[in-house]
Amino acid sequence: MITPLQFHPFLRPMPWGDDRLARLLGKPVPKGQRIGESWEISDHRLHESIVAEGSHKGRSLRSLMEEEGETILGQAASRYRRFPWLVKFLDANDWLSVQVHPNDEQAARLSSSEGGKTEAWFVLDADPSSRIFAGLKKGVNEKKLREALAAGTVTDCLHSFEPRAGDCMFLPAGTVHAIGAGILIAELQQNSDATFRLFDWNRRDAAGNSRPLHIEESMACIDWTRTEVEPQFVAEYAQLLGSTPPRDVVRLLVDCSHFRIEYHGRGSPFDAGGMGNMQVWQILAGSASLGSAQLEVGQTWLLPAALPRERCIPKPNLALLVSTLP
């Protein structure tokens, strides 16, 4: 039976995590744990997602890709041995390191076990004092950045802004970036965990040790043209959070060689599936029924390419990210 697939979330404890994944998205966070990431869909070597319900309950995404890859990905199956994305929610209660990710070619040279990592974020919630760093300031070159690293003043080289719920960030490989404290994010990225840490805010652990940095790898990957990266704001999402009934809207947020992401705000029934292309739905607000599946905020669903056409009925409103392969 070909049905929408939901997987058990893989909850990753992080020192910078908090309780928003449980409080706002309903994740089963163990009491007292600080969870920073919920891996919603993963075919990565660090975790292979397991189907939570339905006729495929208990099966891994790895086995589905091996045995039913064309059912999942359609014609794109010939291009991907593994599922092409990591799909996550992130809860940052402290500053994450300043980092940069390689592209596919750079990863092949610099990371023996990972591919390139282009990613996109959608801000679900943000404290008034939070910040996102995205891209270099204009005029920053390698010499200036190395001088700032030596002086511990890297933020002088980075563009930043105060995020708000509804901001979407597209971060191609090579973009220097960091997430500040007090932000809840939905994330879609290439199926890679390749991260080079450029700066870690001069932090040290209880023993006085700092985390390893990857200065030379970072310098080799930075795209110096990625300056002053600004978000795309989805006002309809902010209106929905403010209890303003939204009109039906579909907005293209990201269209790159790795994925296409749309924001959907829905108050009326609509059709899904039956088009031969795989989709991933991240439910941002509201609820709905999709055939026999009940969609709730904080859930992530994989709609296989072979899924027959289904009717989705919002109850009464629904906000979601819909990601497809280009």
Residues involved in catalysis: 197
Distances (CA, A) of 291 to 2, 41, 70, 132: 12, 21, 22, 38
Distance CA 21, CA 27 (A): 5
Distance CA 123, CA 137 (A): 22
Q: 91: which strand partners? A: 184
Distance CA 147, CA 149 (A): 5
Distance CA 175, CA 185 (A): 18
Three state DSSP letters for 45-69? CCEECEECCCCCCCCEHHHHHHHHH
Burial of 279 (0-12, 13-18, 19+ CB in 10 A): buried
* Dihedral (CA of 87, 92, 97, 98) sign: positive
Distance CA 222, CA 175 (A): 6
Distance CA 180, CA 314 (A): 33
Cβ neighbours for 185, distance < 8 A, ≥ 6 positions apart:
89, 90, 91, 92, 121, 122, 123, 124, 179
